[in-house]
Amino acid sequence: MTEKTVTVPNIACDHCVATIEQALEELQGVETVDVDREEKRVRVAWNEPGTDWAQIRARLEEAGYPPA
């Protein structure tokens, strides 16, 4: 399992958290998503080869929450 934590500056509310969680949990291979609204951080753990960081980053960008 691979894990990465990134800063996402435009997390502002619980709706943002829910949107990010839903977007990432839909990806095949994603095991856990932890969004910290106050710290503006997203931690995601996934199994490769089900997905990779490029797919996760693209999904965050598509949802309107690009990592810094």
19 in Cβ contact with 13 (< 8 Å): no
**Other Cβ atoms within 10 Å of 14 Cβ, number:** 10
Domain ranges of the chain: 2-62
What local confidence, expressed as pLDDT, does residue 45 receive? 97
35 burial type by CB count under 10 A (0-12 exposed, 13-18 middle, 19+ buried): buried
What local confidence, expressed as pLDDT, does residue 33 receive? 98
Fold topology of 2-62 = Alpha-Beta Plaits (3.30.70)
Give the pLDDT mean for 7-32. 96
Helix axis angle, 53-62 to 14-25, nearest 10°: 140
pLDDT tens, position by position, 32-64 = 999 999 999 999 999 988 789 999 999 999 999
**pTM confidence score:** 0.92
What local confidence, expressed as pLDDT, does residue 9 receive? 97
